[in-house]
Amino acid sequence: MTQILQKVDHSALKTNQLIIISLNVLAFILNLPILAAFVAVVMGIGSALKVPGFGFIYKNFLKPRGWIKPDVLDDNPEPHRFAQFLGFLFMTAGSVALFLGASALGWGLVWLVVALAALNAFGGFCVGCAVYYWFSRFNLPGFSKQPPAGTFPGMKPRVGVSR
Amino acid sequence: MNAETMEILLRFGLAVSIIVLGAFVYWLINQRLLIRARNNVFTLFNKLPNKPVLVYFTTPDCAPCKTVQRPAIDRVSNLLGEKLEVIEIDAYEQPDLAKTWGVMSVPTTFLLDARGEARYVNNGVARVEKLLEQIQTL
């Protein structure tokens, strides 16, 4: 069955991941649970608005100045939204743990988000997307998309399209 | 230096350590694979082909091998022609060879230079661009 893919700007996704990594590491270094909670809130807002949480920085600041070039690929946006939502859940759990004084658990969850975001940003593999496609294989309601043709579930699609 | 600054420095050190440790573990795993490949290069051929070799470990039921890795290798092979030798190994048919080379998952690709020395290992799918980039440095 052929599915209609959309244009997804992977530069926006990557910028989002890099900012999440940076802020989380900064939150850890400065021991600022509030900063981790801020990241969680932005990711939550992004999930609700169906956009990358920190995508506005890319859209309004980095892209117009040409500092980061668009990387528009034919892809499904839904798995990326799901991945961000998973990140939001982990970040929320981590922030709650930190505010409750469970530092090891809290920072552990924050570092897990950092590791998964780094795997996506530097390795091109989106674990949340892979989970989405895995749910899709089991026909779970709300998980209807298939990976783009020739793309391993979770991997970044190969073919670049319009810039 | 007050206690607060000390704590920040300590946490900074810890963060750097975690990041460096993650990168180091990944590098170490790859180095271990390359050493194994170097030690076992003659399990593949008796005489060196005197050109770069791409060793590709796969299995018949590996979906990304069929959909991504195989087409990528075909494209690289078409682009480079006789300048590159591709050796495909079915890890099910030759499990001992896969074990000897330390292959833990498929697809895994190794790139050997003309002297038969393993220079790169790619765990998981390696795109055309990456393979070409690696081959150019051999």
Enter the tokens of residue A27: 């939150």
Ramachandran angles phi, psi of B113, nearest 5°: -80, 180
Q: Look over chain B and give the mean of its residue pLDDT values, rounded to a whole number.
A: 89
Task: Select from A26, A29, A114, A116 the residue whose CB has the most chain B CBs within 10 Å, as the one to mutate to test that interface.
Answer: A29
In-domain check, residue B117: yes
- Number of C-beta neighbours around residue B120 at 10 A: 22
Tell me what pLDDT residue A161 has: 37
Task: Select from B17, B125, B128 the residue whose CB has the most chain A CBs within 10 Å, as the one to mutate to test that interface.
Answer: B125
Which residues are A74's β-sheet partners?
A7
Q: By C-alpha distance, which of A105, A93, A102 is closest to A44?
A: A93
Report whether pLDDT(B105) > 80. Answer: no
In-domain check, residue B7: no
Tell me what pLDDT residue A153 has: 82
Domain boundaries, chain A: 6-137
Classify strands B118-123 and A72-75 as parallel, antiparallel or unpaired: unpaired
Q: By C-alpha distance, which of A96, A130, A126, A103 is closest to A113?
A: A126
CA distance B4 to chain A (A): 9
Report angle CA A7, B125, B81 to the nearest 5 degrees.
100
Residue of A nearest to B9 (CA): A29
In-domain check, residue B125: yes
Q: pLDDT of B78-101, one tens digit each?
A: 999 999 999 999 988 998 888 888
B75 to chain A, any CB pair closer than 8 A? The answer is: no
B29 to chain A, any CB pair closer than 8 A? The answer is: no
Tell me what pLDDT residue B116 has: 87
A30 to chain B, any CB pair closer than 8 A? The answer is: yes
Residue of B nearest to A112 (CA): B18
Q: What is the pLDDT along chain A (163 residues), one digit of tens a residue?
A: 567 889 999 999 999 999 999 999 999 999 999 999 999 999 999 999 999 999 999 999 999 999 988 888 889 999 999 999 999 999 999 999 999 999 999 999 999 999 999 988 887 789 999 999 999 999 999 999 998 876 778 877 754 433 3
Residues from chain A contacting residue B7 (CB–CB below 8 Å):
31
For residue B128, the domain's CATH number is 3.40.30.10
CA A30 to chain centre: 23
A115 to chain B, any CB pair closer than 8 A? The answer is: yes
Is there a contact between B98 and B92 (Cβ–Cβ < 8 Å)? no
Task: Measure Cα distances from B97 to B36, B63, B84, B91, B101 in Å.
Answer: 11, 21, 21, 7, 6
- Number of C-beta neighbours around residue A2 at 10 A: 6
Half-sphere exposure of residue A98: CA atoms within 13 angstroms, side-chain side: 24
B22 to chain A, any CB pair closer than 8 A? The answer is: yes
In-domain check, residue B8: no
Classify strands B53-58 and A72-75 as parallel, antiparallel or unpaired: unpaired
CA distance A29 to chain B (A): 5
Split into its structural domains, chain B has a count of 1
Mean pLDDT of B22-29: 86
Tell me what pLDDT residue A150 has: 62
Would you call A39 exposed, middle or buried from its count of C-beta atoms within 10 A (0-12, 13-18, 19+)?
A: buried
Residues from chain A contacting residue B17 (CB–CB below 8 Å):
none
Is this model's pTM higher than 0.90 or not? no
In-domain check, residue B2: no
Is B67 close to A151, i.e. CB distance below 8 A? yes
- Chain A and chain B share a number of CB contacts under 8 A equal to 34
Residues from chain B contacting residue A158 (CB–CB below 8 Å):
68, 127
